[in-house]
Structure 1
């Protein structure tokens, strides 16, 4: 008996404190200090010895992945805890299932006495604990309600167009007179512009990062530390540019003056999983909220380049037109076939679906031929723009209206057809129900048929929404002839098809299959230019 008392005396009395947010004081927050004082006084007044304090300041009660809680559990696993004392049940946690596991299973199994002072809970007095499960449920309801209120505040700010980010993106800094506004950082913004220039010139993410490292340009995180934009004990002095950092900069609409709201959204309040990026159509984009670093045309070209991923061939060569050529029939990309000296076959492109038997024709075109066609067409269109700029603007405007009217007409017609079918299905389902009531249709047959029709209705609803979104998008869309005109003025003469020329001028090229006309093989190629698309001149 004496040996058991001595063993118990060696165990600790754990005083556990938690607060979900820090206040403005240095170190522990005021509430944490109060909790410590309350717990220590209770322990002293009631004869609890060998006290050890555990503090989690700034951690939510909906998760138990807290540093000092984990440290306390290590003591429990080593059988070194006699008593755990908290100010109230909510300090232990706000997930009633997990709190119940600790208080009803883990602590009793390890012979640990649990006390929640303000709630009058003491595991050594079972009659006082009847209301404990209800306290746990109430605490979880409180957490859910708080979560909803926080989301409502965020939504309200988003509706007002206020930025929700704590730090502005690299290239911007906070306005010292208004923390909700961003100003351009002259030094960092020049680096952002250079990254976009290198991308448009044809360099990939890794090559851009290597170029910046060779120039000894300070990467974003270390730059923000040096200029006092962030305070951290983490050492960023050895950080380097990498492809992920470059890709992130090239993808930010903030650089064209837009604010993007609701990029992340938590999967679950309890899971505390990583934030996910929402689809573009689920984001709220507020245009022209601050001064742009990059013009929209350059941003669009860079985005198109990043979407057209290019890979090294077996011989280590990256084709200039990789990711730019598309099949006129199936819409898939044409892939590059290396030259074969053994058969004296030059390099060419072919439909990626042809060998998979998903496209009936090869749509093959020699690399040398397609490059020559594109170069000559760029020369032709640049010459026309230089000599007939006003006529070019009129043509683009007329073409834009014609294409928009066609797109809207087709989409509207499909919506009308879908709505008619939806109403027809309502009538069919109603007739099925009447047949079932009259005994002309078995329950099994009715369930099978109605489920099939209802599934079709769901598909129609989704398609109608998709078409309406498309119409809204097309109404806001416009062709930007000024981009191509300014681009033409940039070049005095174009004699070579470089990576930079391709990326700046060409959006995509649609290749048709070769056909014989009057005994002569011909091949149609439709070139779509950035800003204006495919336009006949």
Structure 2
């Protein structure tokens, strides 16, 4: 460049930027490469004194919301610098309109000499016709290149999400990125233990706020502080205090995230295009959801029980940390609305009771009032009775598997199964013979179609019968339903001594209260229980009097 006429002295700032999001090439566009190129240029221009270096590493060029660029422009406003040097136009920005505005309007207005080394552009030189053409064209090419890269990156990211690859820059609390595969999550032992404790505390009746207070009291670092302890440069706009602490919102965010059962839900938010960074919520049907992508931190059973608690209308006792044992589980048997807990105590006589919320709101239902202590006693008695009944079911199923009757039934059913399989083969032979007769002209097309449909229908009916017989043999041989996992679920509580929140949530779906204070409890795994009872009753060698009750305990 010709500098003979450039006698004015300038205080210059070099501006360096790189972003893989824009498709920048790591080698040629590296910060070090840009710095070396500009330094070599300044050695040939003694009229420019390098004042400061500004670096935006990892910031896209599609907008100018970059920390160091903003600080550099502040120094321009304060008259500390009057010259800006970049490697090329794309380092300043890749937005055609905004980049052109800075070059053509803002920099000249503020008296700033702008130099783009590789583009051989210096605003201190007289403008030529080629400058007027080349500058807009290059800015337009940078903009188009960025748009093309953005489309490719979005497409690649969507493919990775659909395949169950984790693409977020930071792993959520409880996990780490696998050192051997950055798109796979592995358990962080310390943080995952904290997550498990959070779920168990909620099952024990703690509210989200109480869980947050407990974690803060124990000095457990919040997700943001924990990322910092691990050396992460993670930043969030939600931080309001010098040190981030646990809040009820942070706790709920973890409790509701299916990532902790091994499921990735990605693509929940997006932006309109590469120029607009403001995000919007993506409809749920367009999320990328993939199960079993990594090791779960909590069991699905625990996650679903906590989700059930969070959906319920639950409140803690005044001055207490935990939720009432039956909070969110009690409903009116007539209108189906939830029952709310009321206080009608005096100084000498504490009295709490449940009342239908429909009655409270004057919607036509009656009160269905029942005292809390009576309800809890009745529920506790019913739970114990139901567990005893389930233990009887387990013992009876074990006995059925040993009975000679069962062996005879299995043999008899197996003979029926063989007969049905032979029947299917017979109809298949008929179908082949029918085709030969039609080919030889022995039957008409109408008869061929009619008989063919009939044979197909008979073969289908026999196939359905085979499936049913195979399932019946499995029941007779195993004598159990769902491998009796549901029985083990209840057996954990066979030695219970009192009703507590965790027990109520894990064993009970809902409690229905009738007007006469009669209650009906709908236990979990009702279908499995009734299926086991039906199997027991189908074995006529066993006395029906030994069969357990229906499983819907009424008191």
What is the TM-score normalised by the length of structure 2? Answer: 0.64
Q: 1:522 to 1:51 in 2, by over 3 A?
A: closer
Check whether the contact 2:21–2:150 (CA below 8 A) recurs between aligned residues: no
2:212 aligned with 1:206: no
User: How do 1:447-526 and structure 2 match up within 5 A?
Assistant: 484-511=486-513, 514=515, 521=516, 525=520
Deviation at 1:388, TM superposition (A): 1.4
2:326 aligned with 1:321: yes
Deviation at 1:60, TM superposition (A): 0.5
2:522 counterpart residue number: 527
Q: Secondary structure at the match of 2:275?
A: coil
User: How do 1:288-299 and structure 2 match up within 5 A?
Assistant: 288-299=292-303
Cα distance in 1 for residues equivalent to 2:218 and 2:341: 34
Q: Secondary structure at the match of 1:335?
A: strand
Check whether the contact 1:39–1:87 (CA below 8 A) recurs between aligned residues: yes
Deviation at 1:352, TM superposition (A): 4.1
Check whether the contact 1:89–1:135 (CA below 8 A) recurs between aligned residues: yes
Query: CA deviation digits over 1:435-490, x for unaligned, max 9?
Result: xxxxxxxxxxxxxxxxxxxxxxxxxxxxxxxxxxxxxxxxxxxx979564223211
User: How do 1:295-306 and structure 2 match up within 5 A?
Assistant: 295-306=299-310
Deviation at 1:145, TM superposition (A): 1.7
Check whether the contact 1:255–1:292 (CA below 8 A) recurs between aligned residues: yes
1:265 counterpart residue number: 270
Check whether the contact 1:202–1:503 (CA below 8 A) recurs between aligned residues: no
Deviation at 1:30, TM superposition (A): 6.1
Cα distance in 2 for residues equivalent to 1:187 and 1:195: 13
Deviation at 1:349, TM superposition (A): 3.4
Cα distance in 1 for residues equivalent to 2:340 and 2:273: 42
Q: 1:351 to 1:499 in 2, by over 3 A?
A: same
Cα distance in 2 for residues equivalent to 1:339 and 1:10: 85
Check whether the contact 1:84–1:115 (CA below 8 A) recurs between aligned residues: yes
Deviation at 1:22, TM superposition (A): 10
Deviation at 1:62, TM superposition (A): 1.4
Query: CA deviation digits over 1:350-395, x for unaligned, max 9?
Result: 44455556x33245432424434433432332222111148899xx
2:69 aligned with 1:69: yes
Cα distance in 1 for residues equivalent to 2:525 and 2:344: 30
Cα distance in 1 for residues equivalent to 2:90 and 2:291: 43
Q: Secondary structure at the match of 1:162?
A: coil
Check whether the contact 2:100–2:136 (CA below 8 A) recurs between aligned residues: yes
Check whether the contact 2:21–2:60 (CA below 8 A) recurs between aligned residues: no
Q: Secondary structure at the match of 2:201?
A: helix
1:107 counterpart residue number: 107
The gaps in structure 2 that reach 5 residues or longer are: 236-240, 399-480, 531-549
Range 62-71 or range 33-42, more displaced = 33-42
Give the paired residue count. Answer: 431
Q: Secondary structure at the match of 2:82?
A: strand
1:254 counterpart residue number: 259
Aligned mate of 1:142, from 133, 140, 145: 145
Cα distance in 2 for residues equivalent to 1:71 and 1:161: 40
Q: 1:373 to 1:355 in 2, by over 3 A?
A: same
Cα distance in 1 for residues equivalent to 2:521 and 2:316: 26
Cα distance in 1 for residues equivalent to 2:192 and 2:30: 43
2:14 counterpart residue number: 15
2:152 aligned with 1:153: no
2:353 counterpart residue number: 348
Q: 1:356 to 1:136 in 2, by over 3 A?
A: farther
The gaps in structure 1 that reach 5 residues or longer are: 394-478, 515-520
Check whether the contact 1:483–1:531 (CA below 8 A) recurs between aligned residues: no
Cα distance in 2 for residues equivalent to 1:270 and 1:390: 67
